[in-house]
Amino acid sequence: MRRLPGVSVHDWNSEVRMRYLQAGSGPPLLLLHGLLGYSFSWRYNLLPFSRFATVYAPDLPGTGYSERVLNLDTDLTVRAEHMLRFMDATGMEHASILGTSLGGALTAMLALLCEKKHPGRVRNLILVDPVNPWSRHGQQFTRIAATAIGSLALRYSFPAMKRMQRVFLARMYGDPKRISPGTMEGYTAPLDHPQTIDYAISVVRSWHTNLRKLNTAYDELGKMRTLLIWGDRDRAVIAKSAYELQKRLPNSELVMLKGVGHLPYEEAPDEFNEAVRRFLTS
**pTM (predicted TM-score):** 0.93
Q: Within a domain: residue 2? A: no
Which pLDDT score is estimated for 154?
Answer: 61
pLDDT band at 78 (very low <50, low <70, confident <90, very high): very high
Q: Within a domain: residue 159? A: yes
The candidate with the shortest Cα–Cα distance to 204, out of 141, 149, 152, is 141
Which residues fall within 8 angstroms of residue 117, CB to CB, at 6 or more apart? 84
Least confident of 167-171, 180-184, 244-248: 167-171
Contact 81, 113 (CB under 8 A): yes
Share of the chain above pLDDT 90, in %: 72
Structural domain boundaries enclosing 23? 7-281
Q: Could you give the CA distance from residue 28 to residue 25 in angstroms, rounded to a whole number? A: 8
Which pLDDT score is estimated for 42?
Answer: 97
pLDDT band at 10 (very low <50, low <70, confident <90, very high): very high
Q: Within a domain: residue 216? A: yes
Which pLDDT score is estimated for 191?
Answer: 78
Taking only the tens place, the pLDDT of each residue in 229-279 is 999 999 999 999 999 999 999 999 999 999 999 999 999 999 999 999 999
What integer best gives the mean pLDDT of the chain?
90
Which pLDDT score is estimated for 5?
Answer: 81
pLDDT greater at residue 74 or residue 198: 74
Asked if residue 58 has pLDDT above 70, the reply is yes
Q: What is the 3-state secondary structure (H, E, C) of the chain?
A: CCCCCCEEEEEEECCCEEEEEEECCCCEEEEECCCCCCHHHHCCCHHHHHCCCEEEEECCCCCCCCCCCCCCCCCHHHHHHHHHHHHHHCCCCCEEEEEECHHHHHHHHHHHHHHHHCCCCEEEEEEECCCCCCCCCCHHHHHHHCCHHHHHHHHHHHHHHHHCHHHHHHHHCCCHHHCCCCHHHHHHHHHHCCCHHHHHHHHHHHHHHHHHHHHHHHHHCCCCCEEEEEECCCCCCCCCHHHHHHHHCCCEEEEEECCCCCCHHHHCHHHHHHHHHHHHHC
pLDDT greater at residue 153 or residue 124: 124
Q: Within a domain: residue 125? A: yes
Average pLDDT over residues 37-63: 96
Which pLDDT score is estimated for 195?
Answer: 79
Taking only the tens place, the pLDDT of each residue in 81-131 is 999 999 999 999 999 999 999 999 999 999 999 999 999 999 999 999 999
Q: Within a domain: residue 136? A: yes
Asked if residue 166 has pLDDT above 80, the reply is no
Average pLDDT over residues 52-80: 93
Q: Within a domain: residue 257? A: yes
Asked if residue 158 has pLDDT above 80, the reply is no
Q: What is the CATH number of the domain that holds 223?
A: 3.40.50.1820
Which residues fall within 8 angstroms of residue 279, CB to CB, at 6 or more apart? 124, 126, 227, 253
Asked if residue 157 has pLDDT above 90, the reply is no
Average pLDDT over residues 19-33: 97
Q: Within a domain: residue 143? A: yes
Q: Within a domain: residue 1? A: no
Q: Beta-carbon neighbour count of residue 188 at 10 Å?
A: 15
pLDDT greater at residue 212 or residue 143: 212
Q: How many domains does the chain have?
A: 1
Asked if residue 1 has pLDDT above 60, the reply is no
The candidate with the shortest Cα–Cα distance to 227, out of 20, 23, 29, is 29
Contact 93, 121 (CB under 8 A): yes
Q: Could you give the CA distance from residue 8 to residue 119 in angstroms, rounded to a whole number? A: 30
